[in-house]
Amino acid sequence: GEDVEQSLFLSVREGDSSVINCTYTDSSSTYLYWYKQEPGAGLQLLTYIFSNMDMKQDQRLTVLLNKKDKHLSLRIADTQTGDSAIYFCARGSQGNLIFGKGTKLSVKP
Amino acid sequence: DGGITQSPKYLFRKEGQNVTLSCEQNLNHDAMYWYRQDPGQGLRLIYYSQIVNDFQKGDIAEGYSVSREKKESFPLTVTSAQKNPTAFYLCASSTFLAGSYNEQFFGPGTRLTVL
């Protein structure tokens, strides 16, 4: 299987919460990251979590980390149409990043 | 304004031609990276450089070449040996600290189309 796995698509209604899930195989990473990519643009860091944390909250974003299950999730509260984008999960490895294939989030009005 | 720039935004090339994509950063980062993005494939690492005058192959280096003569610049050449070069190319940079926080900053990308 892939090193970092994500489902490819997620569709939600405006105002609902979105939860994007990510699993990984190598638990040696010190940091795990969430990036956002809008159409035709580069990636922007949304948030990150240190591996000894279980949760991190930043305004509408909540990151949950389950190290035992090697599972990372990103929750976006009160999802807006401007949140429509591709979201990438990534883990640090030897100074580099290993990315999942990205989850395309579609927000319907 | 500190940042990372890529040029051009769109590039067209004929089969059999080499083409060079530019990437410049003024963030004083030691490390720079090139990724290729295809629909549904995520980001695949082509080459990376952790220090000037040194670079390493990534997962899909065949048909590509790079140089790192200056800290600020990391150009990527797509050669005629690359069989399927049409893709979106992303450059990134970061401070390089193995095992530590390593946010990569991305450029806006170059979309290469082979005609």
Backbone φ, ψ for residue A40 (5° rounding):
70, 15
* Whether residue B8 has a cis bond before it, omega within 30° of 0: yes
A83 neighbors A18 (Cβ within 8 angstroms): yes
Q: How far is B105 from B7, CA to CA, in rounded Å?
A: 16
Whole-number pLDDT of residue A26: 86
The stretch B79-106 carries a mean pLDDT of: 88
Q: How far is B45 from B32, CA to CA, in rounded Å?
A: 11
Whole-number pLDDT of residue A21: 97
Mean of pLDDT over chain B: 92
A37 neighbors A43 (Cβ within 8 angstroms): yes
**What are B32-74's pLDDT values in tens digits?**
999 999 987 889 999 999 999 999 999 999 999 999 999 999 9
**What are A26-37's pLDDT values in tens digits?**
888 889 999 999
Which residue, among A96, A99, A104, would best test binding to B if mutated, counting the most B CBs under 10 Å from its CB?
A: A96
Put simply, the answer to whether A97 touches B40 (Cβ < 8 Å) is no
Which residue, among B102, B103, B106, B113, would best test binding to A if mutated, counting the most A CBs under 10 Å from its CB?
A: B102
Length of chain A: 109
| Per-residue pLDDT at B99 exceeds 70 | no
Put simply, the answer to whether B42 touches A101 (Cβ < 8 Å) is yes
What is the SS3 assignment for B1? coil
